[in-house]
Structure 1
Amino acid sequence: MFNWEGVSEFVSVAETESFTQAAKRLGISTAQVSRQVSALETRLATKLFHRTTRKVSVTEAGQIYFQHCRQVLDGLDEAERAITNLQSTPRGRLKITAPVTYGERTLAPLINDFIAKYPELDVKLNLTNLKVDMIDEGYDLAIRLGQLEDSSMMAKKLGKRTHYVCAAPDYLSTYGIPHSLSELDQHNCLLGTLDYWRFQEGGKTRSIRVSGSLSCNSGRALVDAAVKAIGITQLPDYYVLPYLENGKLVSILEQHRPSDDGIWAIYPQNRHLSPKVRMLIDHLTEELK
């Protein structure tokens, strides 16, 4: 067990280069500071200060010990701030970015619930499918979907999403139901921004290049085309689940459904996450379970 006696006194003397000034800073007597430092030197069997009648200077060993002690005390200060902030009420500006459709359908209502609970917040929510520069544009939080790129940002997983390959019953009755991945090249595949779909085969992820009469960067447009029996599409759950439930779309190739991927909260690296960001992340994590 670490013995803390004398550490605060030692650090104060090292920073002020004065036993008297250290005593004033700590609100104790100079004699008490001197006793604690002397006891610390005895315990360490090391001389920490050069003392003269005019000057106090740190020894080489004292410098090494000071660096370590300063880090420890800074950590304790930060821990205390973290606990204090835990009890704080979120307030002030909170700037967030998220993808458009997922933001509209899922995130915005949850964020609105959070605002209703903490009305002192001033939230700026930017829904865009473009990757913003969080640092340059001053964002506190970004919501990202799918596979994360390498980044200097911190990330916390909020939940997961499932991808479905689906088509309208009329399309399947006309062109048949594909039962294997190799049959996809015989079908009209409605594409998003990528020209391939991901699947699971033999316990491994496999990317299959597909093609069709429509490619569009809007999931809503692809859902509409699929419902109108134009072709087959692969989209996340929040686009297609209502249509799967009402029978306007049918899920196919379920044995090859890819593994679920993540819904992530991304935020800049900080020594301590602000209460408003941390509490919003906790709120989203709980609601997205």
Structure 2
Amino acid sequence: MISLDAISVFAEVARLKSFTEAARVLNVPLSTVSRKVSELETSLRVQLVDRSKRQIRLTEAGATYYDLCRKGLETLVHANRVMTDRHTDTIGTVTITVPPNLFEILFLETIETFQARHPKAKLRVFVTERILDFVEDGVDLSFRVAPPNQPDLVTRTLLRYRHRLVAAARYAAVNSLPRTPGELQHHNCIGFGFSKKRHLSWSLTKQRDIENVSFEPHLSVNDYAAIRSAILSGHGIGELPEPLCTDLIQSGQLIEVLPDWRFPEIRLFAVHAGKAGMPKLARLFLDIAAKQVGA
């Protein structure tokens, strides 16, 4: 009879493309991983893994088998987790990542709601643009503005927004605001940047027209909260994500510049390893975030 344990070990080897990494993740000896895969190949009477090269690869049969058994394993793990969750309290630690500049404006309320509902749970938050690894860095749930490259990760769009070009009312009181993108070169422009390049660029679209505005910033900062403060102080014209400026525009503290010209759409994603590998606390946090952050 084919061992389900051997199948799960093979699935980890196939996912990580490494016997060594699979042994580390499963916390078992390397010899055990190799033996389990060999036993599975013997039982199936087919070679699943090509070991002839330094970096292993799946055979055609191995790739087909992995694709078929992976879905079944995920279903089993999810079923076990659901049954376990029925008898466990929401105790433990959930680790999430959120993009800089969006933490306070988008996620602080979600965190407060989560902690109020689950006071025994602990929350670890990494505010970073770096794409952390779910296994290596112990991340349970990641919020990103860039979709993941890994096809095995689950991606959910929570929010769609754009940046807006804005200036403070006090700046507009003493400066004639531009009527075309080209006139921006006559203004103090505040840009988001941290590279060695002296010039930045804004890509603006009006219906089918596209204008790429290249400029050397009067002030360059790699933090949108700081850019917002500089704009509010009247230092110049700058771009801000809608979550950081919509209320200020509505209150009249900021004026939208070139409102007919639009920046590209940005999406905020929730990324996780799938329901089978997603802890209960992470699922509970995502449920709250989807209601409070999602548009």
Q: Which residue of 2 aligns with 1:221?
A: 226
CA–CA distance in structure 2, aligned partners of residues 256 and 155 of structure 1: 30
Change in CA separation of 1:171 and 1:209 when aligned onto 2, cut-off 3 Å: same
Q: Does 1:247 align with 2:247?
A: no
Q: Which residue of 2 aligns with 1:211?
A: 216
Secondary structure of residue in 2 paired with 1:105: helix
Tell me which moved more, 76-85 or 271-280: 76-85
How far residue 178 of structure 1 moved from its aligned partner, in angstroms, is 1.4
Q: Does 1:263 align with 2:246?
A: no
Confirm or deny: 8 A CA contact 1:144 1:264 kept in the other structure.
yes
**Structure 2 residue identity aligned to 1:231:** G
| 1:7-47 deviation digits (Å, cap 9, x = unpaired) | xxxxxxx349xxxxxxxxxxxxxxxxxxxxxxxxxxxxxxx
Q: Which residue of 2 aligns with 1:127?
A: 127
| 1:150-169 deviation digits (Å, cap 9, x = unpaired) | 34543221212331101122
CA–CA distance in structure 1, aligned partners of residues 113 and 227 of structure 2: 30
**Structure 1 residue identity aligned to 2:251:** N
Confirm or deny: 8 A CA contact 2:105 2:244 kept in the other structure.
no
CA–CA distance in structure 2, aligned partners of residues 182 and 108 of structure 1: 38
Tell me which moved more, 202-211 or 222-231: 202-211
Q: Does 1:197 align with 2:202?
A: yes
Q: How does 1:151-170 map to 2 (within 5 A)?
A: 151=150, 153-170=153-170
Confirm or deny: 8 A CA contact 2:168 2:231 kept in the other structure.
yes
Please tell me the root mean square deviation across aligned C-alpha atoms, in Å: 3.4
Q: Which residue of 1 aligns with 2:179?
A: 179
Q: Which residue of 2 aligns with 1:139?
A: 139
CA–CA distance in structure 1, aligned partners of residues 105 and 274 of structure 2: 28
**Structure 2 residue identity aligned to 1:127:** V
CA–CA distance in structure 2, aligned partners of residues 229 and 260 of structure 1: 26
Larger of the two Rg values belongs to structure: 1
Confirm or deny: 8 A CA contact 2:162 2:265 kept in the other structure.
yes
Change in CA separation of 1:157 and 1:90 when aligned onto 2, cut-off 3 Å: farther
Q: How does 1:72-91 map to 2 (within 5 A)?
A: 74=73, 77-78=76-77, 80-81=79-80, 83-84=82-83, 87=86, 89-91=89-91
Question: What is the aligned-residue identity percentage?
Answer: 19
How far residue 204 of structure 1 moved from its aligned partner, in angstroms, is 6.8
Confirm or deny: 8 A CA contact 1:89 1:118 kept in the other structure.
no
Confirm or deny: 8 A CA contact 1:187 1:212 kept in the other structure.
no
| 1:138-188 deviation digits (Å, cap 9, x = unpaired) | 12122223x436345432212123311011223234331212222222222
Secondary structure of residue in 2 paired with 1:235: strand
Q: Which residue of 2 aligns with 1:287?
A: 292
| 1:101-140 deviation digits (Å, cap 9, x = unpaired) | 3112321221221122122312112334444444322121
**TM-score (normalizing by structure 2):** 0.65
CA–CA distance in structure 1, aligned partners of residues 149 and 279 of structure 2: 23
Secondary structure of residue in 2 paired with 1:253: coil
How far residue 264 of structure 1 moved from its aligned partner, in angstroms, is 1.5
How far residue 242 of structure 1 moved from its aligned partner, in angstroms, is 3.5
Secondary structure of residue in 1 paired with 2:158: strand
Gaps of 5+ in 1: 1-13, 17-57
Secondary structure of residue in 1 paired with 2:263: coil
Q: Which residue of 1 aligns with 2:281?
A: 276
Change in CA separation of 1:281 and 1:206 when aligned onto 2, cut-off 3 Å: farther
**Structure 2 residue identity aligned to 1:227:** L
Secondary structure of residue in 2 paired with 1:160: strand
Q: Would you say how many aligned residue pairs link Structure 1 and Structure 2?
A: 230
CA–CA distance in structure 1, aligned partners of residues 139 and 78 of structure 2: 25
How far residue 75 of structure 1 moved from its aligned partner, in angstroms, is 6.5
Gaps of 5+ in 2: 4-42, 46-60, 195-199
How far residue 82 of structure 1 moved from its aligned partner, in angstroms, is 5.8
Confirm or deny: 8 A CA contact 2:159 2:269 kept in the other structure.
yes
**TM-score (normalizing by structure 1):** 0.66
